[in-house]
Amino acid sequence: MRDCLARKDDVSASTPIIAVTEANLPQRLAELGEAATNWCDVNGFSGKASLHQLVPGSNGKGAVVLYGVVESGLPNPFALGSLVKSLPPGAYHLAEGFPDPEQAALGFALSAYRFERYIDPSDKKRYLAVGDDVDLDRIGIILDGVQLARDLINTPANDLGPEELAAAIADVFAAHGGSGEVIVGEDLLEENFPMVHAVGRASSRAPRLADYSWGSESDPKVTLVGKGVIFDTGGLNLKPGSSMALMKKDMGGSANVLGLASMIMAAKLPVRLRVIVPCVENSVAGNAFRPGDILSSRKGLSVEIGNTDAEGRLVLGDALTLADEENPDFLIDMATLTGAARVALGPDLPPFYTHDEELAEDIAVMAEAATDPLWRMPLWQPYMKYLDSKVADINHINTSGAGYAGSITAALFLSRFVENTQNWAHFDIFGWTPAEKPGKPSGGEAQGIRCLFDLISERYSEKK
């Protein structure tokens, strides 16, 4: 995605994109000449928002692209991304009428993403040349993080198992001078990660937990935890085929935290970054964990299993306990955790949960500014009773609430494993775009990480 943007001075020739409205289109066309007016009349172009018209050059004038906007600018900040597929291959640049060229350029680049690992790459590219009012370095950092997350989610489980996911984490940290360890197989029991082991033990590909760090120990501690379930069959509570179709994306939480981590490290933010990812496959075998089993946890809580298809919160429980032992300044976990979140808010608006009112407000403000939508949901304590168990400290799913409040009760379960950290936020993301829209090609998606990068950049722009 990064390579679809360039400095205007580095491009020999580019076609201007001119913003027009329905009201000022006649004036713009008068400036361009009679041929341009006739061309738009023939093609029925009225300047309506989100529509465009390529006007060929004539009388010594070069071609231009007219793009319909509203009076205040683009109909949405990423609307320009709609041009990535519709314009002829070549180089373009923003002319007048775009109040926020940086957001427009970001939307164009985000739309340019294609997952081409298994097909011949297309050489029919569209490029956008930008001026000095666009911070290409920062946009490039964001684009690289988003691309990393999307690529990982789009990679099928036959090529991205627990080992490969852990290796991807190691590679990103090694590229920035970070280091860490991976705990594999039976060693998970020795190191006290019993729930990670239980969820992943039925797969022929051994479960593991990746734990990597970067930055100075004296800087504020920012810890990211991601759900790394590379494929979720549902376990013994086997999913039907229709529900299994997208389960390669069940490691979307880990992909997103790794994309965010790459942004933080590339920007050299003054934080001590830590990323913890349990990498497992929830499979079916004779040694799979069962409904009714009672698991021990790193926290010391006994956990009754209500349904083996709610495995993500189990591996996150052990990982969050490890993170919380260090009492970081800021703890984030991201997971493709519940279908209930999609029922409540749909695929494009992930919920987040936190006890911290100031943090919640900051996230909401940053999400709107970054066009990276998020919506706060409540950690409603009265629903904790839905997780009661008669035989263990807690049940990991809602067994007494008739199926109500699935995303909330999942977040409440996770909150039992975060005791020391005050600034904790849980994000129940979808990690997928079902239908293409500007800035969001269909397929694996980075959700929330552009907002969180801005938030962390602002909070820790100076060493504390």
Nearest to 107 by CA among 147, 78, 70, 73: 78
Q: What angle do CA 90, 96, 100 make, to 5 degrees?
A: 90
CA distances to 304, 379, 380, 407 from 301, rounded to whole Å, are 10, 20, 21, 21
Catalytic, out of 313, 342, 440, 459:
313
18 and 40 in contact (C-beta within 8 Å)? Answer: no
Nearest to 416 by CA among 392, 394, 400: 394
Active-site annotation holds for 313:
yes
Instruction: Write the CB contacts of 242 (distance below 8 Å, at least 6 apart in sequence).
Output: none
110 and 440 in contact (C-beta within 8 Å)? Answer: yes
36 and 16 in contact (C-beta within 8 Å)? Answer: no
CA distances to 21, 44, 65 from 39, rounded to whole Å, are 17, 9, 12
Tell me the residue type at 162: P
Nearest to 249 by CA among 111, 168, 319, 150: 150
CA distances to 24, 51, 69, 197, 233 from 43, rounded to whole Å, are 18, 12, 18, 62, 51
Catalytic, out of 125, 138, 239, 437:
239
Tell me the residue type at 221: K
Q: What one-character-per-residue DSSP string does 443-464 give?
A: EE---SHHHHHHHHHHHTSS--
Active-site annotation holds for 239:
yes
Q: What one-character-per-residue DSSP string does 67-88 give?
A: EE-BTTB-SSTTGGGGHHHHSP
Known catalytic residues?
A: 239, 313
